[in-house]
Amino acid sequence: MLPGSIWQGGRFMAAELAEKIRSYLVELVNAQTELMNLFREGGVALYGDNPHQIQQFVQQKTELVQKMSLKLQQREGLLKRAQAAGYKALSLQEVVAQLPVEETEELRQLIDLSTRLTLHLRQESWKQWVFLQRSHQHHAEVLELIAHRGQKSPTYHEKSPREATGGAILDASA
């Protein structure tokens, strides 16, 4: 006997659950694809010098991340619903594996696609994080060179660091 057969006659419950999972996965894959496209296009903004494009990228990314957070909440709701129907529900893959075979092929393909997109998104996020960290480090080094009149500051000073730098940046505004 299939899980869910105690409630609403088994197959109907399995078909209803499969449809809800399918709908969720289609929305998830669409959101992931949208985020992946934004990352690809946003990379151009990050590597360029247009602050307006960067701000627009950040705003769109924030909206899509919020959308993905909602998808996570929906996933939790689906898992709770599957548990209530008698399925062992630690993951959507696990739930799909317990559904009747005629319900699962498309769901397995959607789960595989979502998994691949997740890996690509993780990799793209990592690349952008590394780029931004290195850019920040480079910017800090350039500011330090400007502050020290083109010379790297020594590690140890005979004088206090304030006396050694002369405060050139602050004096320029006076």
What pLDDT does residue 74 have? 96
Residue 148 confidence class, pLDDT cut points 50, 70, 90: confident
What pLDDT does residue 33 have? 96
What pLDDT does residue 69 have? 94
* Rounded mean pLDDT, 74-84: 93
| Cα(72)–Cα(93) distance, integer angstroms | 15
What pLDDT does residue 1 have? 39
Q: What would the two tokens of residue 33 be?
A: 């694809």
Share of the chain above pLDDT 90, in %: 42
> Which of 26-30, 131-135, 150-154 has maximum average pLDDT?
26-30
What pLDDT does residue 159 have? 60
Q: Is 160 left (phi over 0), alpha (psi -120 to 50) or beta?
A: beta
Provide φ and ψ at 21, rounded to 5°. -65, -45
- pLDDT for 104 beyond 90: no
What pLDDT does residue 2 have? 46
> Which of 40-54, 101-115, 159-173 has maximum average pLDDT?
101-115
